[in-house]
Structure 1
Amino acid sequence: MTNIALVVLDTLRKDTFDDHFDWLPGVRFENAWSPTAWTTPAHAALFGGAYPSELGVYAKTQSLDCTRPVLAEALSEAGYRTRAFSANANIAAAFEFDRGFDEFRHSWRGRKHDEDIFDWGNFVSETQDQGPSRFLRAVYECLIGDVDTVASLDYGVRMKARDMGIESVAGADDGARLALEHIRETEFGDQEFFFANLMEVHGPYNPPSEYRQGEYTGSPNIDDTIGDGPDESVETIRGAYEDCARYLSDVYSDIFAALREEFDYVITLADHGELFGEDGAWAHNHGIYPDLVHVPLSVYDGREGTTHREDPVSLIDVHRTILGLAGASALSRGHDLLGEIPERDLLVERYGLRTNRIEQMPANGYDDTVIEWYDQPLEGIVLHDAGYAYETLDGVEDGGIDDADPWSRLDALRDHLDEAAVSPDEETVPEDVQARLEDLGYA
């Protein structure tokens, strides 16, 4: 039977992948595109086999609560054992991304979702103006409260130590080594599907000390895009990101070696990229610029060496490809990456800012005019015979392919989609999850 692994290297730019992952064998799709520019809707497309707007998962609604069966459910129905490891607080049971998985594990940060762990996120949010002495109160609450005292204290210490860069306490990375340990200790059988999300290049850029060539360990955010950019130079910030990428390459080499022993196919990709001042934008909080949505994608099938394909493909195609390998069936807009891919245009979309971010912006001094400006929806189209054209807040960028009539073709493509109706007012984010998302710059 066919065993399949899917690994998302969260926030890894295509050019950075090319620089650091030349060791990775497989078929490389050089013209691969994410249907969006941030984690939750990109993973929804991977799992749901459709554009995020069709699934109802985007900026204002981030739960995978679509009515159609998702990938792990289809694989489970076909007889697969389904396992997952996620280091990303967005890709979690709290947002229904555990649908169909027999086993869904998190990095140590994911333990905050456990019912018997003290709610550190909510505590920090409520007491942030009370000074360091507040942590004595937190320790007291861990001792007397209806929680697992040892596990709660351990989590709190690790959380604080990681934020301060104290590796001896927090651990040297953001979950990749734990994922490797989990893979090595798991007894995989036949008909196995394994999914992982690794966060080593996601901000804050804080690689193990032996990889760190500079002092910067933060990450840019939406304020840098709206304002004049971060105080640090582009070279300093990009250098910290590249340090993280060098570490990710090394640790993923070990992970890949373990996976190839157990799995017939290992699919490696990024959900989106990262910006370092291109077009005045930073991180991945805004826009659908090429460096955000042109992503790495590699399919390893057991053969050594690297081959390259130039067909325009979408991450949605990964969904169809895995279904085909597994002999499973489900609705999918994608096409099999291992077969002949028909010529078609691809949609890229982004529906403004997340609700939680919008709610916080007035406290940062932004009025309704600024908020509404950055909350505009944006769309782009990858033309199979030309290139990428996309909307910006200031107009459009067609890359010199205006003769191909990208905007009429975008309208035609959009007319064929069935947008899901989801009310953002129905979506609430637990406070502990919200705190972790703030740490990652999502809110």
Structure 2
Amino acid sequence: MSPTKSLNVVLVVMDTARMDEVQLRADRQTPFLSSLSDSGTVFKNATANAPWTLPSHASLFTGTTPSKHGAHAGHKHLDDSLTTLPEILQTHDYETVAVSNNTWISEEFGFGRGFETFFKTWQYVQADTDLGKIAQMENGLDMFKEAVKAVFDGNPITNISNAVYGQYFRRANDDGAARTNEWIKDWLTGRDDSRPFFLFVNYLEPHLEYRPPKAHTKQHLPEGITYGEAMEISQDAWGYIAGTVDLTDEDFEILRALYRAEISYLEEKIEALIHLLKSESEWDDTLFIVTGDHGENIGEHGLMDHQYALYDTLLHVPLYVHGGPFKDNDRTDLVQLIDIAPSILDTLDIDAPEVRNQFQGVSFHPDTEQSREYAVAEYMAPQPSMDALETKVGDLPDHVYEYDRSLKSIRTDRYKYIRGSDGSCELYDIQGDPGEQTNLAGTKLDIVERLDTMLDEWLNSFEQTERLEDVSMDDDTRSRLEDLGYLQ
């Protein structure tokens, strides 16, 4: 790095990326992963602090857990009581830019603070009025009335452009990764480079529903299954959980193939982003971080999507760090998404003592002497709620109501303990049983007691935020989230 130039920061989130699937590709030496692994640091035991997008990104941005930042299914907004990473960097003269493909990560839900530029790929023209809902309208006079009303709520030309784009073009080939890279290229090549930049990117491809390009799918499909046949498999997660949709082991094998193809396609786009940084002579001056906000259940534990549980299928995420002091190295110590913000500040040599007092994360900078004794995760409220699930699929089997609870987990190098608000508890030997199939809570009472005490001590170590009120959102946002499987 030039002695006169500050380090840029690029923080990439592979939305819904499981570590085991990403690592599977790393073992096959894919170009993207090889370029990061060979000259950067791979964290093999990185975990999210929540199993879904909103609370997990809030933890990433604030360095705090859901019970402290208060953004979760019971309060779907990141409030301004805590300082965010982009706000810190903005005060240190960084150009702060966000590109989001996930509706949760937008200004509407509190993620715009600190960003000079916030680009949402689901809008063709960036605007406050968002018309994706037009694509959901019924035919005939009702559609016409609603469309006219929506179009004239703001700039008519802009709104019509966004409606047409959302209905006919946005999801034609991918979930926004191609447009993301095109926009970043235009921004990067045209920016004033007198300041360093912080670029945050959320890529959505591995998220349900899986629609990978055919070229990336063939190598992953089971023998004898065509792309067309694979795309006919139901991806109705809530129907499966409620028992209205039946899926066989072969169906799940096909769905996992589609999921892997999505990751393969996304890796190609991230590799293109790296090449872009290199072509603009920014790569050597950039701290480049790739992680996942959470994972995915694809039939494991009787679940689909990424709700209702704190298993490692949802919490164990990839984390690759390249640049600055992060050299060729594999690390197996416990790290979490809340550790990323303090690690970035340490790398940039930014003090910010007041904000550091806010952090619950532990820096994983190579020169730090700190280490993490345990990792925690929280699922503050079910999402979707039982009422929303009933509205979607009708009557629910009795066992589904077991998911109507909050969950907290704590894990050490060997054991994970999960405690439910309904009095349930689970204990897994992560080393001997990485798939978390055998609940040891009834046989290893001493370990349950020790981890239960550690969890309580951690919860009592900070002031928790009690926010359980509904947060309003416009109809289009609600419709777009339902498209992503987030029932409200």
TM tier, shorter chain?
0.7 to 0.9
When structure 1 is superposed on structure 2, of 395-404 and 59-68 the one drifting more is 395-404
Following TM superposition, by how much is the alpha carbon of 1:236 offset from its aligned partner in structure 2, in angstroms?
Answer: 1.5
In the alignment, is residue 438 of structure 1 matched against residue 482 of structure 2?
yes
350, 360, 363: which one aligns with 1:336: 363
**One-letter code of the match for 2:55?**
P
Following TM superposition, by how much is the alpha carbon of 1:152 offset from its aligned partner in structure 2, in angstroms?
Answer: 3.3
What CA distance in whole angstroms lies between the structure 1 residues aligned with 2:118 and 2:269? 21
What CA distance in whole angstroms lies between the structure 1 residues aligned with 2:361 and 2:60? 10
Following TM superposition, by how much is the alpha carbon of 1:124 offset from its aligned partner in structure 2, in angstroms?
Answer: 6.0
1:281-330 CA distance string (max 9 Å, x none): 11102211111001111110168974210110111000111122231521
Aligned to 1:23: 34
Following TM superposition, by how much is the alpha carbon of 1:79 offset from its aligned partner in structure 2, in angstroms?
Answer: 2.0
Aligned to 2:165: 158
What CA distance in whole angstroms lies between the structure 2 residues aligned with 1:320 and 1:391? 28
Q: Normalising by structure 2, report the TM-score.
A: 0.79
In the alignment, is residue 252 of structure 1 matched against residue 297 of structure 2?
no
1:243-270 CA distance string (max 9 Å, x none): 1111111111101222354242001100
Following TM superposition, by how much is the alpha carbon of 1:356 offset from its aligned partner in structure 2, in angstroms?
Answer: 6.8
Q: How does 1:393-432 map to 2 (within 5 A)?
A: 395-399=425-429, 402=444, 404=447, 405-425=450-470, 427-432=471-476
3-state secondary structure, aligned to 2:163 = helix
In the alignment, is residue 199 of structure 1 matched against residue 217 of structure 2?
no
Is contact 1:34-1:272 (8 Å) kept? yes
3-state secondary structure, aligned to 1:266 = strand
State how many pairs are aligned: 428
What CA distance in whole angstroms lies between the structure 1 residues aligned with 2:125 and 2:478? 11
Aligned to 1:166: none
Q: How does 1:165-244 map to 2 (within 5 A)?
A: 170-186=171-187, 187=191, 189=193, 190-213=195-218, 214-215=227-228, 216-217=230-231, 219-227=235-243, 230-231=246-247, 233-244=251-262
Q: How does 1:357-368 map to 2 (within 5 A)?
A: 358-359=387-388, 361-362=390-391, 364-366=393-395
What CA distance in whole angstroms lies between the structure 1 residues aligned with 2:185 and 2:81? 35
Aligned to 2:3: none
| Cα pair distance change 1:230/1:266, threshold 3 Å | farther
**One-letter code of the match for 1:397?**
L
Aligned to 1:353: 382
Q: How does 1:95-110 map to 2 (within 5 A)?
A: 95-107=109-121, 109-110=122-123
When structure 1 is superposed on structure 2, of 260-269 and 385-394 the one drifting more is 385-394
Following TM superposition, by how much is the alpha carbon of 1:413 offset from its aligned partner in structure 2, in angstroms?
Answer: 1.8
**One-letter code of the match for 1:333?**
Q
In the alignment, is residue 32 of structure 1 matched against residue 31 of structure 2?
no
Aligned to 1:84: 98
Q: Normalising by structure 1, report the TM-score.
A: 0.87
Aligned to 1:292: 314
What CA distance in whole angstroms lies between the structure 1 residues aligned with 2:95 and 2:386? 37
What CA distance in whole angstroms lies between the structure 2 residues aligned with 1:363 and 1:112? 32
Aligned to 2:346: 324
What CA distance in whole angstroms lies between the structure 2 residues aligned with 1:422 and 1:303? 39
Aligned to 2:10: 5
In the alignment, is residue 276 of structure 1 matched against residue 331 of structure 2?
no
Is contact 1:89-1:110 (8 Å) kept? no
Give the % identical residues.
26
Following TM superposition, by how much is the alpha carbon of 1:364 offset from its aligned partner in structure 2, in angstroms?
Answer: 2.5
Following TM superposition, by how much is the alpha carbon of 1:67 offset from its aligned partner in structure 2, in angstroms?
Answer: 0.7
Following TM superposition, by how much is the alpha carbon of 1:226 offset from its aligned partner in structure 2, in angstroms?
Answer: 3.3
Is contact 2:64-2:360 (8 Å) kept? yes
**One-letter code of the match for 1:177?**
A
**One-letter code of the match for 1:389?**
Y
110, 114, 129: which one aligns with 2:127: 114
3-state secondary structure, aligned to 2:111 = coil
When structure 1 is superposed on structure 2, of 373-382 and 390-399 the one drifting more is 390-399
3-state secondary structure, aligned to 1:23 = helix
What CA distance in whole angstroms lies between the structure 1 residues aligned with 2:390 and 2:183? 39
3-state secondary structure, aligned to 2:209 = coil
Is contact 1:176-1:200 (8 Å) kept? yes
When structure 1 is superposed on structure 2, of 338-347 and 359-368 the one drifting more is 359-368
Is contact 1:222-1:286 (8 Å) kept? no
55, 75, 78: which one aligns with 1:41: 55
What CA distance in whole angstroms lies between the structure 1 residues aligned with 2:288 and 2:386? 35
1:95-129 CA distance string (max 9 Å, x none): 1101111111111x145972355x342x566x5xx
1:331-375 CA distance string (max 9 Å, x none): 211122113332422211102223677445245324697775322
| Cα pair distance change 1:230/1:289, threshold 3 Å | farther
**One-letter code of the match for 1:205?**
Y
What CA distance in whole angstroms lies between the structure 1 residues aligned with 2:344 and 2:291? 14
Runs of at least 5 residues in structure 1 that lack an aligned partner in the other structure? 163-168
Is contact 2:386-2:404 (8 Å) kept? no
Runs of at least 5 residues in structure 2 that lack an aligned partner in the other structure? 1-5, 27-32, 219-226, 430-439
